[in-house]
Structures are given as C-alpha cells and as structure tokens.
Amino acid sequence: MIIMKIFQGPGNQMFQVAFGLAAAKRLNVELKLDLSWYDENSYHRQYILDKLNIKASVANQKEIFDIVTCNASGFISYKWNRLNRLYLRPYYQRPKLIEPIDKFDLNFTKIMDRTYVEGYFASRDFFADHFDYVKECLQFKTEPGEINKRMIDQIRTENAVAISFRLGDFLGHPWQNVCSFEYYARCVKYLTDRFQNLRFYVFSDDIDWVKKNFKIDHPMVFMDFNSADYMEDFRLLTHFRLHIIPNSTFSWWGALLAGDKNKTVLCPEYWLSPDKSTYKADFGNRVVDFSRVLPEEWVRIPNMEKGDHYIGQ
C-alpha cells in the first residue's frame, strides 16, 4: 500500500495523486489517500479529486499510523521493520517520505510498498512511465452540461487559444508573481505570427480584473459562466489546441491533458522567480526547485525581462 497525502488546490492535488498512482502501479499495490489536511483547510482549498476517475480510497488513521511507525503483528517483526526501513534502506525507501522543496529528486520513484508520501512532485518525470494510466484516471466522471458542451464544440471549430491568468494570492508573493504584461504580449505575438484567425478564450481566478486590464487587438471570450464550479473551466482547458499558461499548476494540467497531438503550449521561461531574496519571507534560505516542471516540448517565452511590468505592481 502507498498512502499519499493530498493537500492544497486542484493542480497540486493532481500532481500528488499522479505521483501516487504511478508509484502504486510500479509496485502493483493499492493506493490510498490521506485527506486529513482538508479537515481544517477546506475553506481555503476545495478537494476536487472526487470529480475524477481516481482509483484510490481514503486511508484511515490506523493505516497511516501502521505504515509510519513500521507497525507489525509481532515484536520481532516490528523491530526488524524499523531496523530495515529506518537504517538499512536508502533514504528514499523509508516508511515516511517528505519531498524537499529545494531539490528535485527522481529517487522518489524508487519507493517501497508500505510508504507514506508527502510533497508537491511538480514534474511529469515522476509519472512519465505511467502517463497514459494517470491521464485515464484524471478524466471526469460526469459529462459536461449543455453550455459547456456547446463551448467545446465551438472551441474545436476555431483556432481557439486558451489564455490563463493566475492572480489571487500569487500577487502577494514576489517569488510567484512572475508573469508580466509583456510576457502575455510576447505569447500573443508568437501565436499570431504562426496562426491565422485566432480567438482568445480568457480564464482567470479574477476574471473581472482581467476584463478591465487586459486588451489585445484580437477577438476575446471571457470565461465567466463557470464561476460556481471552476473545474468545469478545467474541463474546457483540456479541449484547446493552443495554450498560453501562467505559472499555475491548474493551467499546467489543463494543457498537459489536452488531447490534441499537435497542440502548442506557451509557458513562462521562469516558473518561479530566480531571485533568491524573494523566498526569504516564506522559506528562509531555501529556494523552491521547479527546474523540471515544464515539459521539454513546450515553448518557453521570456517572462522576466528587464523593464517588464508585473500584474499588481
């Protein structure tokens, strides 16, 4: 059994469960989820994996305790489990693994059965060997409503671009607020130089702000009718062939799961700020390592050039 701790918002949840699904598949064992984070944080972040075809049940506290403590039915077995898992095995085969935020480590793909795992695991590399299985599990259980069905049909008949803005709490963290107005202008130019008759479908967690502040000389459709269920916006993202994404795991997954083999994804060159001083307030001297978050085939567009103007500044 692998127990995966799930926490934070939709994009992070999908990275975590993707890691767990791939790990359990490699070992041919059951995956269970620790959802206890949402007991106290559901007001802050909504749990969304129950909307998807996730093949995993919820772990109870005894199952978590037994794995973390190397519990066993007999004293000798218990002592051997602790000796083996805590001292004889390498660090990535201990019973409880917490991913360090400042180091990308593929050794975590070599975990053992009966492991409790916590982390962000923000890279396709952690589940690339079982990508098709992960993609199958991340499909919606239900069909879209009529409005979204019509929107999907419309998207498929056009040179439609999904352009996303991640605002909200990002604006208060300089290490996250890295997508400048100029970044979006460069992305628009990149696409207009290569495609004709583009229509831009605008997604955001603050769509009213984008309506007031984002202007381009191309047709735009502001996606403001799914505000009661933002996962319906996520469903729509997976039907676009052309994507402009910010440094958002929500948009990242929308682009990754888009089914068109000829898709084009434009992403920020810097997923997070390269300025180490911007991390001190949240992480002290540690710098978050997102060096492997962007798939190689995606097009990196400069987003932190000298003189750029950042949203909210």
298: its two tokens: 């995606």
Number of domains in the chain: 2
Q: Are 246 and 284 in the same domain? A: yes
Judged by DSSP in three states, 198 sits in strand
273 lies in some domain:
yes
> pLDDT tens digits, residue range 94-125?
999 999 999 999 999 999 999 999 999 999 99
Q: 87, 110, 137 — which closes off a domain?
A: 137
131 lies in some domain:
yes
CB atoms within 10 A of CB 203: 29
Q: What's the CA angle centered on 157, arms 218 and 194, to 5 degrees?
A: 50
CA 117 to chain centre: 17
107 lies in some domain:
yes
> pLDDT tens digits, residue range 292-305?
999 999 999 999 88
**What pLDDT, on the 0 to 100 scale, is given for residue 82?**
87
306 lies in some domain:
no
13 lies in some domain:
yes
Name residues whose C-beta falls within 8 Å of residue 41's C-beta, 6 or more positions apart in sequence.
7
Q: Are 207 and 172 in the same domain? A: yes
Q: 85, 106, 137 — which closes off a domain?
A: 137
Q: Are 92 and 185 in the same domain? A: no
Distances in whole angstroms, Cα of residue 288 to Cα of each of 6, 120, 175, 291: 19, 11, 9, 9
45 lies in some domain:
yes
> pLDDT tens digits, residue range 228-280?
788 999 999 999 999 999 999 999 999 999 988 899 999 999 999 888 888 88
Q: Are 151 and 123 in the same domain? A: no
Q: Are 120 and 184 in the same domain? A: no
CATH of the domain at 220: 3.40.50
* pLDDT interval class at 308 (50, 70, 90): confident
308 lies in some domain:
no
Alpha-carbon torsion 12, 16, 21, 23, what sign?
A: positive
312 lies in some domain:
no
Q: 106, 137, 168 — which closes off a domain?
A: 137
pLDDT over 70, % of the chain: 99
Q: Are 64 and 161 in the same domain? A: no
* pLDDT interval class at 312 (50, 70, 90): low
Q: Are 162 and 112 in the same domain? A: no
Domain that includes residue 46, residue range:
2-137
Q: Are 125 and 204 in the same domain? A: no
Distances in whole angstroms, Cα of residue 57 to Cα of each of 35, 43, 54, 183: 10, 22, 9, 41
Q: Is the pTM of this model over 0.85?
A: yes
Q: State how far the Cα of 33 lies from the Cα of 300, in Å rounded to an integer.
A: 34
What is the per-residue DSSP string for 110-167?
A: GPPSSEEEES---SGGGTGGGHHHHHHHTSBSS---HHHHHHHHHHHTTEEEEEEE--
